[in-house]
Structures are given as structure tokens and as C-alpha cells.
A and B are shown apart, each in its own frame.
Chain A
Amino acid sequence: MIMAGGASLLIAFFVWKTIFSVRDTVGDFTFSTMITYFAVIFSIKILVGSAGIARTMMDDMRKGSLAFLLIKPVNYNLFQFAKTITEKLLQTIAPLIALGILVTNFSDTFLPPQNLTFVIIAFVQSIIVAHVLYSIIGAASFWTVQGWGIIAVAGRFMDTVNGMVFPLDLLPEKIFNVITYLPFQYMGYLPAAIYTGRIASVDIVRHLIIQFLWIIILTLTYRWIWNKGIKKFDSVGQ
């Protein structure tokens, strides 16, 4: 995953280097801010790309193993959340070291973080937002037989509107304004935007509070869907 992220970052590097060879800015991005944005976003993608939970839920429901997990003396959702967080924390080490090396050795190109504390808070909340959003998609498997298409489509849609594919600032203003009302930017764009100093200091706290409120709203939505779905769920076995 890390090697794959590295390959994607390398492609982005060459593409943007070519683009910036004939111009100084794209939107209001310089080459350094653009490359730093992508370096941060690829690190985040490794950790926030939680489609795994949607696939796990789909498999558990299709194969009936959910029934087996439900009779265990643990809360299924909390168990999955703890599993995700533990895995993600372990996976955090390599990309952070890689980012540190880039910032230290190529300081002309890779910029150091602005407001590191807020970056960390936004980053941790991003993991939670992504986990809950993908859990909602995974819960769709209560009503569908083959869920991977939905996961693929939703994952790609979210990648587009959460800033993983391109900085959201490059979108036309009207579309960007619509996206700011949705939770997706809080999956990846927010920590990357804080890191690169694209959000004014006075607005950062407001964004972090909104991000936290989205966690509450999405968690309540998920619980409602889960309660509906679990009543419908049945499985047979020996």
C-alpha cells in the first residue's frame, strides 16, 4: 500500500512538474504547495482509505459470519472501529517517516507543516469520519447481495470530492461551495489544507468543530441504519 502510494505520488510529481515548467501557478497553487499537498494527501490516503471496513461488513453479512460475531460478548461496531484504529496507527509510522524525510531533505519542494497540532487533530478526526462513512456504505449490504460495486462507486465518488484526486480549490467556485456543505472534505482535504496553510488560522477551529459535528451526525445516521438492517438480517448454519 505504501509502495503503491509512493508510485502515485511519483506520477503526480512528474505530471505537476511538467505543468509548472511553463507556468508559476495553477489556481493559487505554486509547485511547492501542490507537491506538498499531494505528499500529505497520499499519506492521509493510506490511513483514511477505510474501504476495508465496508468490504469486511459486506463479507460478514454475505457469508453469515456476522451472526457468529454478534453472539460474542463484544459490540461488533466498536470491535471493528478498534481494529481499524489499531491497524491505522501502526500504518501511520511509515508514511510519517517518509514525509519527514521529504520535508527534511527536499525543503525547497516539500514544505513543513503549518499548525501541526491542528493537523494532527484534523487527521485523527478524518480517520473517524472515513470509518463511519464507509461503515454506512458497508451497512448497505443488509439490503444488497453484491455490494462491491456500490463500495467501488462510493469510494471513487468520495475520493473525488474529498480532495484525494485533486485539491478541491481547483474546482469551480460554485461546486466547491456545494462540497463545503458535505462531510467528504473532512476525510482528507481538511488536514492537507491545514498542513499547507490553505485555511486561515481563524477558520481552522471552526472547521475542526464542524468536522466533529459531522462525526456525531454520521454516527447517529449509521446507528439508525444498523438498527434497521440488523432486524432484517438472518443467517443459517451449523
Chain B
Amino acid sequence: MKKFLRYYHKKNKAVLMQLAEYRVDILMTIMGTYSYTILTLVFFGVIFGNIDGIGEWGKFEILTLFGIGQLIFYTHWSFFAGVDDWVSDIILNGNLDIYLTKPVNSFMNLITFKLSVVEKMPSYILALAITIYGFVNTGIQLKPLPILLCIVLMGLGVILKMLISLSISLLAFWVSKTRDMKRMYYHLFEYYKYPTDIYPKSVKLIFTTILPIGLLAYGPAYFLLKGFSLNILGSYLGALAFYITVVAILWNRGLKAYSSASS
């Protein structure tokens, strides 16, 4: 562990030096992510200018849900950005060898090799502001237990999101084109923006079990806004257990199937 942290620290120092060198890249990343958030806020502004709520969720509850989803997304991206972008490329290009030969845990090295905390900080602040603004305006009294539960579930949500993304990326051990699957997944990720109550039972079942995107932000937001639900906690933990198993199987079997050559 100590060895990994030392290695991680040095690796991230290199990332920070690279960021300092290419400041325009940071600005562009911030612009790109801010534009998504602002576009969604404009969308909500227009929609809620015409309606009072979506199902049993009012404007500020939806804003809180969106803010929490963004926080999960950016936390995931801060620590596990490589899982979305590069893991499948590394496998397909035969560069996984580099990570396997390092004197640290290969799996941890692979999933944490791209730190983007500094890049994502401004987006994180905006998401936090939206969450606080949404929550304060719901008029719900601030209580420590729901907040604690919400934060715990958000942490689990980050891990769950990483595991779902990783399970798709690890398919690159067997499938040469995972890009379309990823693109599909990114679009499905939009499901987090709305409470799962609005979907029919069959759709809700899919998005809370097999592909638990619907749970990611809904779970923490529900705990914060509506109170504790054993059902949601159970679904969350069940989904986590399922995806930990899936990733473990894919990783172990994938390594056995993996081969590369170099000159």
C-alpha cells in the first residue's frame, strides 16, 4: 500500500506538471464541462417555466438530484478518468504490459493512472453550488443523518459508476470495438437526471439492477430529500456486489486471454 501511494504520488506529480505546461487544455476542459451543466440548467429553466414538477419531484428536488449526479460524475472523473477513456485503448494497443510490469498492484495502477482532480475542480464547485442551491430551496430542514447517508451513498455511487464503466472497457480483452458500447452507455447515463419513479416497472428494473444508472444519483438524493429507504440501500449494495463480481471475472479471465507483441 505504502509503495503504491508513493508511486501514485510521483505519477500524479507528473500529471500536475503536464497540466501546468498545457494550461489551455485545462481551460478547454472546464469550458466543455461547464457548457454541459449550463445547457442542462437552461433546459430545466425552460421546462419548469412551463410546469411545476416531474412526477412527485419539484424543480428544486430535480436540481438537487442533478447536482448530486454531477458530483458523483466529477468525483469519478477526478480519480478514475482513465477507466472511461484509456483502459480499452491500452488493452487493444497492447500497452497493458507496461502496467503489468510495474512493481505495484496492476489493477489499482490501471484504474487510477489518470488523475484529473485539478481539471475537474471548477466543475465540481459548480455542481456543489447547484446541489446546495437546490436543496436549500426545497425548504427541507438540514439534518445530519440524511446528509451522512447521502455522502456515504455518493461515495458508493462513485465506485459503482467506475465499476460499470470498467466492465465495459474490460470487454476490450475480447471485443475490438467497444467505442459504440461506450457511446451508448454515455447516452444512457442521462437516465440519472430524473427520478426512477417516472419509468415503467420494466425499465426501472433494468436501470436499478442490471445497469444501475438510475440508482447512482437517485439513491443519495432520495436519502437527502425523502428519507431512508431500505429498498434503495439494498439495491445499491446488491448492484455493487454484482459489478464487483463482474469486474473480477472480466479482469482475471481477460488477463488470461491477453497477449501482445513488440519489436
Contact = CB atoms under 8 A, between A and B. Distances in A.
A160 interface: yes
B35 A157 contact: yes
A4 B199 contact: no
Contact of B29 (A7, A11, A149, A157): A149
Contacts of B186: 4
Given A15-B194, A148-B28, A170 B35 contact: no
Interface of B: 22, 24-25, 27-32, 34-36, 38-39, 42-43, 46-47, 49-51, 54-55, 180, 183-184, 186-188, 190-191, 194, 198-200, 203
A172 interface: yes
Nearest to A159: B39
Interface of A: 1, 3-5, 7-8, 10-11, 14-15, 17-19, 23, 26-27, 145-146, 148-150, 152-153, 156-157, 159-160, 165-166, 170-172
B43 A19 contact: no
Contacts of B39: 156-157, 159-160, 165
Contacts of A11: 190-191, 194
A152 B47 contact: no
B50 A145 contact: no
Nearest to A145: B24
A7 B203 CA distance: 12
A20 B31 CA distance: 35
A166 B22 CA distance: 36
Contact of B54 (A8, A15, A148, A153): A15
Q: In the complex, which of the residues A14, A148, A159 has the most CB atoms of chain B within 10 Å of its own CB atom?
A: A14
11 contacts: A1-B183, A7-B184, A8-B187, A14-B203, A15-B194, A23-B51, A152-B36, A153-B32, A156-B39, A170-B46, A172-B49
